[in-house]
Amino acid sequence: MAEKIRERGPLCAGIDPHPGLLDAWGLERTPAGLEKFALSAVEVLAAEVAVVKPQSAFFEAHGAAGIAVLERVVTEARLAGALVLLDVKRGDIGSTMGAYTAAYLDGHSALAADAVTVSPYLGFGSLAPAVTAAREQGRGVFVLARTSNPEAAGLQNALLPNGKTVAQSIVDEVAALNAGAEPLGDVGVVVGATVAPGELDLSALNGPVLAPGFGAQGATVSDLRALFGADLRGVLPASSRDLLRRGPDPAALRAGVREVRALIGQSLDEPGVTQQREAFP
């Protein structure tokens, strides 16, 4: 990932074929409309950004035809030189988690991505199959810790008997997996860019942070410093619908990506964070 970040800058572009976006692009809410939307987005985004993040749910909603489109998105994005972070948020126990791991992290699967999002809310230990498989195959996982949706606060900020919040305990579990890795570990966390500053202590994380919430959810690049402090080492901001609403015109979408990427790059190039591009695993 380090090479891609240095080459293309720290921006993760989401591919979310939301029904409202299909409407806005003048496309039908059908597998054909999905395919046109997704592949048009990939053609622009995957040539511009280091990481693209397809949201699996919007493809799954179209059944087998939608999954076939998702397979093409993964393939085409890689051919264009981008890494693929598949947003699946899977989390289960035992053999079920093993099956999810085989689907999304096994190199023999058509859906295998460079990294996936996973949910720890059946117990952090339940993620062991995904973490093990990702490490064996040179892939990565991003663990949901403190997400940007308002509904999450009650659960993720709940206090455990040890006095930590649930979200902080997840961060600490990830930090333990990344201990000693240089420059950073290969297990990341998801922390929404809309989260209030000071909620989490990320100082020992030693891993990447996926920071969604830009645009449609209200966060701006200026929120990066407020939330993550002066050291933005390993922070990968993500934007989805705010970028995609600039389509379907490819030139307008491309201009939007470059605008957001430049703004983020300026923020990360401020004093104290110039090593950010060297920090990704």
Known catalytic residues are 89
Give CA–CA dist 36/150, Å, rounded: 32
Do the beta carbons of residue 140 and residue 186 sit within 8 Å?
yes
**121: number of Cβ within 10 Å:** 14
One-letter identity of residue 133: A
**CB-based contacts of 105, cutoff 8 Å, min separation 6:** 112, 113, 116, 130, 133, 134, 137, 139, 141
Rg (CA), the chain: 18
Across the strands, what pairs with 236? 210
